[in-house]
Amino acid sequence: MRVNKILSIIVIISFLTLCTLFYFNYGQSSIRVKQIKDDEVEVFTKYNDNGIDVCYGNNFRCEKIKYKTQGMVNTKRLGTYTLTYRINHDGKEKVVHKKVRVVDKTAPKLEITGVHENVCPNGKTTGVSYLATDNYDGDITDKIKYKIEDDKIIYRVKDSSGNETKKEFDVKINDVEKPSIVLNDETVIYLGMGSRYEEPGYVAIDNCDGDITSKVKVSGTVDTDKEGEYTINYTVSDLYGNKTSVSRIVKVFKKNNYDPQQVSNKTIYLTFDDGPGPYTARLLDILNKYNVKATFFVTGYDNRYNDLITREHNEGHTVGLHSYSHNYASIYTSIDAYMQDLFMIQDKVSNLTGGYKSTIIRFPGGSSNTISRRYRVGIMSELTKKVEEIGFRYFDWTIASGDAGNTKDTNKIVQNVTTSLKENRNNVVLMHDIKGYSVDAVERIIQYGLANGYTFAPLTMESPVVHQHVNN
């Protein structure tokens, strides 16, 4: 009897428990959200949010209800974004989230053009170009990797998301290209006797082996105590035995041996207008180095460099007269205006040189200038006669360096002068010591002249005159 009571109690409790569970699971109304799965979308494509499946009720009856969506997905940028769904109904609230990943699953494009006929043992190629582009990363050519396997060259490139593209080609391993040697400085170097030869250096590059400068062998010697021409040879071989040789010529010459009593048929007169200026001191150092005397047609309007006029005279150069003001609109208005300017610069030179009265002149613009017509027609015809009547001698030039406006390239200035030199002619060179790129050319012009048998001299009252055609 007691057992039956116990069994009855258990049955009743079980029944009540089942009823309670049934009520809460099937009978009680609540906000119900179907399981949410995270989403994924390809970069640069449109993302369509399918939302969530949500209702209010129980398992017997559940009506769909509205919700609000917060957050956004930027499909132009890789990453994980969160969408938040807020549900409010019948005084009850629920918040759920969904993760959306913007991914890049598109492999990059790999373009290889050219023929793989001559491929270096290390995989370097000649005449083959590469281009790798990715829909997200853009140009990723620098990420291309290659290796050689079983007579094939395999190219691979990966984007930042790990997508890979691979291409392979049959190859023929070969290295037939010679390395190159590039000499620093000039291939012909000029040195005065007693100078020190210092190797300017070189660079050797091979198409397969890269920088092989350290493998260059140098032979040959230079005796700077003996005049002559010396050859320095440079030779290098790559790993495949391809060999290249180049040479440099070093010409050792005697310093300028100027004798004012003996002017040879190979004389160069270096003349410098418009100075002195900020580069004149350096120019004087160069001239002194080679015992070269030059002619300076000086101006007087800038007193900062007065000491250089003194130095020019003391070091044996000819200090000629150019103009005190160098103002065309003033000096070419009349004979008196020009002569007043000329005497001013003559007096200034005299004061700075201890009484030296220079009578060697060069007209601003030269005697052939036409700009003077703006201020007085025929003034140059009058002035060229007048200055000689009163004891001056004017000099024009036969070689224009080009530094007066045609070029600022030192190499071009050197070329203009050296290619214009001629024997049995008055080689009067026009340059300007107020221009650094022109002063930079002087040493090479001197070296070339001395190495080719020329002598340098300053203009004097006894020098052969050089006059151009008067055009006004």
Give the active site residues: 273, 432
Q: How far is CA 35 from CA 48, 54, 68, 97, 156, in A?
A: 19, 10, 17, 11, 42
- Which three-class secondary structure state does DSSP give residue 181? strand
Using alpha carbons, select from 138, 132, 114, 133 the residue that is nearest to residue 124. Answer: 114
Task: Classify burial at 50, counting beta carbons within 10 Å of its beta carbon; exposed 0-12, middle 13-18, buried 19 or more.
Answer: exposed
Q: Which helix (H) or strand (E) holds 103?
A: strand 92-103
**To 10 degrees, the CA torsion angle through 359, 363, 367, 368?**
160
Cα 4 from Cα 354, distance rounded (Å): 149
Cα 275 from Cα 296, distance rounded (Å): 7
- Which three-class secondary structure state does DSSP give residue 418? helix
Distance, C-alpha 461 to centroid of its chain: 48
**To 10 degrees, the CA torsion angle through 405, 411, 414, 417?**
-50
How many other CB atoms sit within 10 Å of the CB of residue 257? Answer: 11
